[in-house]
Structure 1
Amino acid sequence: MTSVSYALDVLSEAVVDLAAIAHNTRLLTRTAGSAELMAVVKADGFGHGMVPVARTALANGAGWLGVATPAEALRLRAAGIDAPVLLWLYPPDHDFGPVLAAGIDVSVADVAVLESVAADAWKSGRPASVHLKADTGMSRGGAVAPDWTKLLDAARRLEEAGTIRITGLWSHLATAEDTTDAGLHEQIRQFADFRHAARAAGVLAPVVHLANSAATLHLPQTRHDLVRTGIALYGSEPVPGRTFGLTPAMTVRARVVSVSGPLAQIPLGFADGIPWRASGRASFQLHGVRVPVVGRITMDEVVVDIGDLPVRPGDTAVMFGPGTAGEPTAADWARWADTNPHEILTGIGARVVRRYLSHSEPAAR
């Protein structure tokens, strides 16, 4: 059994291998070719820790950071990170002053919002950097075709007035992992139409971006000037049935707290992000062997059937890791819970202590 050290009061931990983040960033940067890489670090870096992941990605080839909310963007600036940052989710009637003062780019898909951004930029005395988002079919926060022309006209007018700078044009793919999906190719075609309309309106943005993780890896025609990589950055392969050499960066493990006959109690439950739906399907790894979860996953703990394994309190049980030592992976847990790896990774709760490695460490057994 691999020896694993914990702080005395730690029941469970998520070990984040920053060397894996670095490897994945370099791999994605090479794959992107001439396109820059945006490391998407929203949701606290998919549960891995926004700031350590951002710094690692930037040190290994990423040129941009992507977040959902203003609070996330400002957290990066508070940490001293001055790389270009794009945010795309904010409440109605939001005061953009703080993010504009911090030099953060804002995604806009509505004329009224664009005018609000411009008004806040005028107050701040510096133009706002905006990315105009088109809805090519995902129906998630973009301008549909009839409204795109109005958005372009307003953007050009406000740029001429000096209150905004049109930095980017972008959209989001819904099914980039499946090249046989007709909707994917329709989205790519529509994005080309949106770009043509922008050129016809005299709107020239220096950064055009469409590709997510899956598209970055296997749809070169979508890479344009910038690619946005989220789940792949953390080592989860985004295209079913294909592997690209990504390395999972997180291992979640806990100490056995009690043993009773063939049953061992592990202090991880659905309050820690262990999906209740995986009850009766999932397994952990103990002493290099996968052991099944028995009974229901509760708020604070799970029970596993260890058979005749010589397990003692204090031994390490691995929920998931890279899979290189036979332990379950986040993809396994996603399958057991009928979800995706994104939900598994982002769901790991605050009680699970994060610990960071700058070098790879063998998985606990």
Structure 2
Amino acid sequence: MSSPSVGSSARLDPIQGVLEILDRAAMTGTNKLGLILTLLDLAPTLDTDAPGITRTHLAERYLEIHWEHATPYAGPDGDVTLRQSSARKRRGDGTTADDTKVMQEVHRLRKLLKCHNRGDLREKPLDIVKHGIKDSEWHLEWEEEYETALARVRASLLKNPVRYLQRLPGNPDPFLYDPTSDKSGITLLPGVVESLTKFAGILRPLVEFRFAQAVVRFNHETLKLPVDDVYSHLFGRERLMPPPAMRERLVQIQDGRCIFTGHPLPATGGSLDHVMPWSRVRLSQIENFLMTTRSVNSKKADSLLAPDAVERWLHHFNSNSVEIQECANDHNWPAGIDGVRRVAANIYEALDATTGVWDVDRGIQPIGDEGKRKVLALLQ
């Protein structure tokens, strides 16, 4: 990929710009890396003709990403609360803030759950927490505290990292968004939505690993373990998977068979697959889950589906929409097929014809122009 050098006045290619941030940007915390992950998550949800992100939407996703990081790390000498900043700032009340603003707010919200004897929700995705609290007697208190946290994260994002993310040695022009955008949000520059969507599967693991390296560095006094362990702790998928009872229900809705092959699922229930791969986009809605065999899941891995497989997936959800919605309701799990279809369409729209997709019978094959058109027609 050719693009101007950092010292030139021309705009960097957005992908090279992100790589430059990972390699050269100064960081005393994970704020910049968290913002990159947020942009990677939100890019497939945006209209390329109106690539604006409100500050609230940005803050919500930023908070959701960091929520999972507050689970204590099981170190050799006991559980450790991992810090995401090396800076310590003196507050007006005389206390010291020794973590990023978003992590301070996450810990405050998690403490509220514990105070109301719902500590079990702390290890669940934030979407699930919201569902689990909405009918409680104290849901208004939660909503008020959540809005306070969101307001503080919004303000913090505007100061740092939104203002400083694109500042690199050599002072290149902005390459992701216009830093002078209206204070209500940010507007991604032309081509950025397409680039981030197209290369998310490559960029996300790099950003996450760099994030884990930074966390290891900030906790070096209490943590002396391989960065791989911290990476798994921060970004492992298992905590964001549906519970066993929900998986059993999904198997029942599928009549005990794999949607892709028609083969019976094993008595143990099989393997849960993210239809739109987790490496490309973090979609936790129930419509992005299917139960398959371990063999099928291993073969598909992090690939997108070929047209025939997309058709089988959509047919399944169209035919069982009522039962699937009931399953989501019973387990307080987020749902929304329209949102999943929209994100999937944006991901396929950004593909080259040579991109490999998983075909049930032939394995990984180029999607081709005709295959891309078929998938987009199905998703519309």
Is TM more than 0.5 here?
Answer: no
Kindly name which structure, 1 or 2, has the bigger radius of gyration based on alpha carbons. Answer: 1
Q: Which has the higher strand share?
A: 1
Higher helix share: 2
